[in-house]
A and B are shown apart, each in its own frame.
Chain A
Amino acid sequence: MSARHDIAAPPAKEGGAAPARPPATKAPDADKRRRDRLSRRWQRDLRWSPYAFVSPFFLLFLAFGLFPLIYTAWASLHSVELTAPNDMEWVGLRNYTRLLDDEFFWNAAQNTLTIGIISTVPQLLMAMGLAHILNYKLRASTFYRVAMLAPYATSIAAASLVFVLLFGRDYGMINWALNAVGIDNIDWQNDKWPSQFAVSTIVIWRWTGYNTLIYLAAMQAIPQDLYESAALDGASRWRQFIHVTLPSLRPTILFTVVVSTIGATQLFGEPLLFDPNKGASGGPEHEFQTLGLYLYEQGWVNLHLGRASAIAWSMFLILIVIGVINYVISRRLRASS
């Protein structure tokens, strides 16, 4: 309530609720001026300071978000090389139309999709299961929760380096274990599905804990009496999970799906570092080259800024389409519930 006083206290306008002032005497006059001044300051403060508070974000967004976005759009309509970034030659939509029959682009798009699916789906299912377990009363629950988040706090570079060693063809620990059960060496870096599986493993390892904690937080917000009444009705733990937990988590699930989808579309660091010696080509036959990696290869290895910008914008458009689909699905879900 106190906030209202800031506005209401000084009788700024005539006809306000405040009682009329006695005829002007010197002291009250000075007092009134002082109070008017304060009131004007408060009003200015109230009106403008929120803008000042949010401005750092928007200034930074302008400089590092919007400007690059627009500049990239402009560059994507030109043939421009990093060796001469100011020397732009207008080519219209050619950088976009060439993507249509660029087999490397479509290969990268397909890889992004398949790696996205084999990393996101198991990741979210595992996160859900782990969150459910962590939701029970456990000893040392904080320890488990921190441990869950540890991979997320690890640098991708360090993690990828370790995974590269684990997935080595000749001297890797995973192949060594597979040999022990009679499976021949798998070429994790050069064969299509093994390499995509390996890259997905890094993603799953890194993000499962993060999603687990989000699910766990949402689960703890579900009122306990829902479970009690379900239990009274004779619902088993499993039925409680299906009929109480899952419906309550719907918005959270949607959130994690959206965030994971965006992350999967932009997947870059893991595949780049999975075979850093082959540049950004993502395997000898581009087995695990994602869109992000292809963009990087065109821009920073081959120095074709115009082509890279067009790929960047295509990725952006793909993300918008995915966003719209997500929105439609979520509205359907909300309507049906």
Chain B
Amino acid sequence: MQNKTRQIWKVITASSVGTMIEWYDFYIFGMLAKTISLQFFPEGNPTAALLSTLAVFAAGFIVRPFGALFFGRLGDLIGRKYTFLLTLVLMGGSTFLIGLVPSYKTIGIAAPVLVLLLRLIQGLALGGEYGGAATYVAEHAPANKRGLYTSFIQTTATLGLFIALAVILLVKSNLSDLEFNAEWGGWRYPFWLSILLVLISIYIRLKMKESPLFEKLKTEGKTSTNPLKESFAKKENFKMVLLALFGAVMGQGVVWYTGQFYAQNFLETKCNIEFEQSRTILLWAIAFATPFFVFWGWLSDKIGRKWIMLAGMFLAIITYRPIFKTFIDKTNVAVWSSSIGIINKQEEIKISTDSLKITTTQLNFKNGAKATSIENVTIDSNGFQKIEYKNKHLSSQTYWEFVALVFCLIFYVTMVYGPIAAFLVELFATKIRYTSMSLPYHIGNGVFGGLVPFIGLLLTTTYPTDPLVGLWYPIAIAALCFVIGSIYLSNKIDKNVDD
């Protein structure tokens, strides 16, 4: 018994560490996008701009679902262990190589072409990793602990984000901006670190055995000969793929993306909170919320998966707008000035060549908050005046209030995401499980989730007076998914996935 428990923890560790490293690899590209674009995709070059667009959008939207199909099929044909070992090697190798590509200044257009290719390999590998890891753990787990054990896989995406944030903050805080952004500067270190992490993970995974359920099918000669056909061309299974996508994963994808990415972007670009505070708010919230992935996974073994996931979506639907409105209200510097009072101001006035008078004022408030006010006034007419507040530094009280609110957003993520691996595993038969669960997962997360910023921008441009209008997309998708999930899904736990 003790040996069995030790074995399952080895399986969870081997799967989770590798998956976490894959998420880390995928995120650092996005987090360093600004520096990367300066190095590889210079402005004013239309080819580089096209390659940049493809690197960001194609890797997430197109390549991830294709990776799910390609590696899912492979995993159902040759086994889980070697497939998700391959995805790990591809992800780690391509991340490390991105850190070695010389800049556009040195090798010209070859630089963005190489980065695009490596980014596409990253997307492909990520598409194949998750389904393999979740299936591998679930097929080792006893029926009454499937939710609990697979929930450790569910923590990896958030922990990968946490580590990526922490590594970048650490490197950035030890280097000057010049040293960090130089051609061979500090921005490359997180990419180089990946190779070390991946080597450790490969070593751990190599020592693991194949999934017992897959091994049994293989011995009996019952593995699928054409997993793609059996997954998507047979009505009995295809309708479950559609149900998984529209009744669970699409809502989970938008809640996940809004809580972990949209919120950070909102604090930085709409509320103009300084770089360090906006990131540490997220770090604290993640640290406090992560144990709940395991809690909801554990609870789903007792009461079923369905209502936990749908409750997370419901909470998101009703509280997103009030939470994001609080972010805006509490960072309104005009209100700070009248209610808290300014203790000192430092003004600097510049007259620019396009006849603009720019007044930059450093404002220090009594409660410890700070902000930079940038006032643009045209000299030759009275018709134009614009005041912007940048680099807002929150008071300690507001800072912790924001940590609590972002915690709520990630708490919803833990509800929708914690039980979903066990839910997906139980929906599909062993011989086509890897293929069948990977595709809806990556469409839900990559496409529906990945579109949150784009549709947000589209809505903000169409309705510019409402700063919260971008939230209607995740709210609408989560609501649609909530309705479909409530009506069509079952809350029963499938005790036997050995089929």
A pairs with B: no
